[in-house]
């Protein structure tokens, strides 16, 4: 297990006892009464009008609805490909824009898988979210080993980071509407994560990363992105304070990405809208970037209802925030998900089941998007 996964699980365990107490209240609050939009209503001579897709409905709300894309599934699975094209107006590379994939050897770039996704997006009128330029995970071995054995010193590492960000953002210039420039740079307590970036370069690496990315593509909106920052807490407040400070210094930080990897065993973060609103007031865009809602398997109707309620709550908070212009799920079918491989006994975190059938969560998103506002 890599350190991000460990981090996620550690964080999850840390809030377990508090969350267990809060769960019942959270469930009740986050489940407002709802009415489906003309379910079973037939048009014309007995032919039901094909139901609008998520992206059709999202267009009317001027919000992008996105998914992370597993590019292997995209290449091999026709049903997956069709659903990706039909339901979403934005795509994020689940893995193929990460450093270990795009620069497997120093100075040798391999954009092929990412380019393929960008081509798919273009062909289907979809926007592309860029994920991610700087992370402590999925770094190439030449880089981590070079730092560990001292053959890459701090000065060299800063140059490597500048070249990586510049090369990647330039390669996709004009094709990416939002970039996750820095990913998961804070700990739960709001201190900066003790990564090789902090250790070698000190805290200024964050401002540098944004400046380099902006220079390479001034048109892309530049985001910070993390998990466990849904509510107002030490970690999200650290991002808020950092954004305020950097913007006062003229650093081009333009967005806050809230990953939203939820789990139905915990309470829904009911202060999500308030959290998004404070970033909005700072002049930042916001986005839900990696939504999924896991559970212990097998599912049952009650668990699926709670999952639907959580998805609905995430989307509702985004729709209520002016600058929240994209809502992305981290994969859309239970057929392909990072969850079972990471959280023992858990899964079924997505909005379609493994046979691409609509789950209550899918219907909840449709209903939320279809609401008059
Ligand atoms: O979904 C991704 C999975 O396929 C990779 O193995 C994993 C490696 O750490 O990264 C997953 O995506 C992560 C994302 O890039 C950042 N936020 C947490 C996501 C889930 O771990």
Q: For residue 45, what pLDDT is reported? A: 53
Give me ligand 1 centre to Cα 72, in Å.
15
Average per-residue pLDDT in the chain? Answer: 90
2 domain-assigned: no
Q: What percent of the chain has pLDDT over 70?
A: 87
Q: What CATH number does residue 95 fall under?
A: 3.20.20.80
> Of 246, 318, 319, 313, which Cα lies nearest the Cα of 289?
318
329 domain-assigned: no
251 domain-assigned: yes
Ligand 1 contact, 226 CB (< 6 A): no
330 domain-assigned: no
42 vs 292, residue with greater confidence: 292
Closest protein CA for atom 4 of ligand 1: 338
The average pLDDT across 324-345 equals 98
Domain of residue 156: give its range: 19-25+64-294
Q: Say if residues 109 and 126 touch (Cβ distance below 8 Å).
A: no
346 domain-assigned: no
Does the annotation count 184 as an active-site position? yes
Does the annotation count 168 as an active-site position? no
Into how many domains does the chain fold?
1
Rounded to whole angstroms, the Cα distance separating 121 from 124 reads 5
Q: Which residues contact 6 (CB under 8 A, 6 or more apart)?
A: none
Catalytic residue among 87, 94, 168, 184: 184
Ligand 1 contact, 72 CB (< 6 A): no
356 domain-assigned: no
Closest protein CA for atom 20 of ligand 1: 338
Q: Give pLDDT tens digits for 342-358.
A: 999 999 999 999 999 99
91 domain-assigned: yes
9 domain-assigned: no
Helices (H), 88-195: 99-102, 112-123, 141-148, 154-171
- DSSP for 240-263, written as a single string: HHHHHHHHHTT----EEEE--EEE
Q: Give pLDDT tens digits for 235-255.
A: 999 999 999 999 999 999 999
């Amino acid at each position: 297990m890599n350190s991000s996964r460990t981090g996620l699980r550690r964080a999850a365990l840390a809030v377990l006892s508090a969350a267990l107490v809060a769960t019942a209240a959270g469930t009740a609050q986050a489940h407002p009464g709802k009415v489906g939009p003309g379910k079973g209503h037939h048009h014309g001579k007995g032919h039901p009008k094909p139901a609008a897709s998520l992206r059709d409905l999202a267009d009317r709300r001027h919000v992008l609805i996105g998914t992370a894309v597993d590019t292997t599934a995209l290449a091999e699975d026709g049903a997956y490909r069709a659903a990706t094209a039909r339901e979403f107006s934005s795509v994020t590379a689940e893995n193929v824009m990460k450093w270990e994939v795009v620069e497997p050897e120093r100075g040798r770039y391999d954009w092929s898988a990412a380019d393929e996704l960008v081509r798919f997006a273009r062909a289907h009128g979809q926007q592309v979210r860029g994920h991610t330029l700087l992370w402590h995970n999925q770094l190439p071995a030449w880089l981590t080993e070079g730092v560990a054995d001292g053959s890459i010193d701090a000065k060299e590492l800063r140059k490597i980071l500048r070249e990586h960000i510049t090369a990647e953002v330039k390669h996709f210039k004009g094709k990416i509407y939002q970039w996750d420039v820095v990913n998961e740079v804070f700990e739960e307590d709001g201190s900066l994560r003790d990564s090789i970036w902090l250790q070698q370069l000190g805290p200024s690496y964050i401002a540098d990363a944004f400046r380099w990315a902006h220079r390479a593509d001034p048109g892309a909106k530049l985001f910070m992105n993390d998990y466990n920052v849904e509510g107002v807490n030490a970690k999200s407040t650290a991002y808020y304070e950092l954004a305020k400070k950097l913007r006062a210094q003229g650093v081009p930080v333009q967005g806050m990405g809230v990953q939203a990897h939820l789990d139905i065993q915990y309470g829904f973060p009911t202060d999500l809208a308030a959290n998004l609103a404070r970033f909005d007031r700072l002049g930042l865009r916001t986005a839900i970037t990696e939504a999924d809602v896991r559970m212990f398997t097998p599912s049952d109707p009650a668990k699926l209802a709670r999952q639907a309620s959580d998805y609905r709550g995430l989307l509702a908070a985004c729709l209520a925030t002016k600058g929240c212009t994209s809502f992305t799920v981290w994969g859309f079918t239970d057929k392909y998900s990072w969850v079972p491989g990471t959280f023992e006994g858990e899964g079924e975190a997505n909005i379609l089941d493994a046979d691409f059938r609509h789950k209550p969560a899918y219907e909840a998103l449709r209903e939320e998007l279809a609401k008059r506002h």
